[in-house]
Amino acid sequence: MKGTFGLKVVLPALVLGMAIAAPVYAQEEGPSASQSMHRAGESAENAASDTGQAVKHVYHGTATAISDTSITAKVKYALHENKVTHDAGIHVDTVAGVVTLTGTVPSAETSATAQRVVAATEGVKMVRNELTMAPTASR
């Protein structure tokens, strides 16, 4: 009988104590949970912003690559159409509008002509002339 009396008194007291403590606990947890949700929202917003920036960089990188490819094609065509540089075997590389010429050409005139032709090509911002002259045949 003593055991059932204890259960009849202790159990309701325990339930009543939990009922009273629950709102206090929820209030203590409320701001923390709210802060956690706020931080999660900020993290999601930052992730979205970072993704947007990444897409923007990819777009601009792709646009630059397409532009560079177009410039390279124009430069190669212009060099091919010029009677001095037609068969010179000049290699063309373009990065952000800066055209680099490499290879071996027969003369300083060919190198200078190539530089002028490239500089006059639409879209070229700068020319790096790294052409070398072929050694002359010894007699």
Tell me the per-residue pLDDT of 6-61, one tens digit each, with 9 for 90 and over.
556 665 665 666 656 555 555 555 556 667 666 766 666 666 666 667 666 766 66
pTM of the model: 0.58
pLDDT at 139 over 50: no
Question: What burial letters (b/e) apply to 85-108, b meaning 16+ CB within 10 Å?
Answer: beebebebebeeeebbbeeebeee
Distance CA 130, CA 102 (A): 5
Distance CA 36, CA 39 (A): 5
